[in-house]
Structure formats: structure tokens, C-alpha cells
Amino acid sequence: MLGRVMADLQKGLMVLLVAGFIGYAGFAMLDIEYLSQSPTAVTKAGSADVSEKDLQAIMDGEDPTEVLEPTAAGKSLNYICDTGYIAGDMDKNRFSKISYASIAHEGKTYIQISRYSPTYLIQENYQIVSATEVRDIPAEIKNMLDRKIKNPAECDQQDLYLSNIRHLK
């Protein structure tokens, strides 16, 4: 009787150990897959863009709030742009899985879809998962977007989910 209880206990522990290992390996693979999609975003996320001069001023006793520029809540110091791929319903979004670059400027987010055949979208402050296609954007913004989409490592890399795009007719 005691031998049977011990055998059942060993089996139970073995099943628990195997299930734990499989669960751990599954979560580790998810993390590795996620990190492999945007390696620069992970390495840049914790770093701040502080010059040697600013760092020395802080070390000499200067107030960091006086030396460094303030950042918006939740934003990284490094990024003024985003790059990645458009995500959305494949049936309704003709831009789904196409690369983009975006820059926020004066209350609007300007988005360039595709490096090779650019289309431009604008998001107003109230638009979170929607955008409006436009014929033209300011030349300065267009040039910046073109540079950023060709050098995506300079920007925060994340997919942009758009559920609704008002297209030009």
C-alpha cells in the first residue's frame, strides 16, 4: 500500500515537473520570438540620450531637471519617430503588413506607408486606431519620413494598429 502511494506521488511529481518545463519553454519561446522582431527597440528602451557635457554638469552638482530636457510621460528620450508594420484586419486594410514610418509634429502624426510607393496618412490627436489618407504633407515632414523609413533603426520599432483608414477617392 505504501509502495503504491509512493509510486503515485512520484508519477504526480514527474507530471508536474514535465508540465512546468513545457510551460517555461513555451513562454521562453514567446519572449524570444517577440524580442527577435525588434532587437533595437529592446536595447534602446532603457538607454537615455545624455551627452558627455550634460553628464559632467550633473556630476558637478547641476540640477538634472535644469540640464536635461523634459520628456512626455511614457515616452522614451530617444525616439521622435516610430517604424514597423501596419497591423489591422486583412480584409479591410489594404496597408496591412506594409512598412511605415511616423513622426508626431504640432498635434498631428504624419505616417508614410511603404518605402517604395509612398502613401501618406495623418492622425489627429483624437484618432488612436484610425487615420486619414492625404494627397500631400509638408515637404520637411515628407523628407524626414523618407529618411526614417529607410533607416528604421533610428526610431522606436513597433507595429501600428489601424482599424479604420479614410481613403482618398
Instruction: Tell me the pLDDT tens digit for each residue of 84-121.
Output: 999 877 667 788 889 999 999 988 999 999 999 999 99
Percentage of the chain with pLDDT > 70?
A: 65
The pLDDT, as a whole number, for residue 144 is: 93
The pLDDT, as a whole number, for residue 71 is: 46
Mean confidence (pLDDT) of the chain:
75
Domain boundaries defined on the chain: 2-37, 78-166
Residues near 24 by beta carbon (within 8 Å), at least 6 away in sequence? none
Interatomic CA distance for residues 93 and 22, integer angstroms: 37
Residues near 8 by beta carbon (within 8 Å), at least 6 away in sequence? none
The 3-state DSSP composition of the chain as helix, strand, coil percent (nearest 5) reads: 40, 20, 35
CB 88 within 8 A of CB 161: yes
DSSP track, 109-143: EEEEE-SSS-EEEEEETT-SSEEEEES---HHHHH
Give the pLDDT band (50/70/90) at residue 49. Answer: low
Q: Grid cell 513597433 — which residue?
A: 158
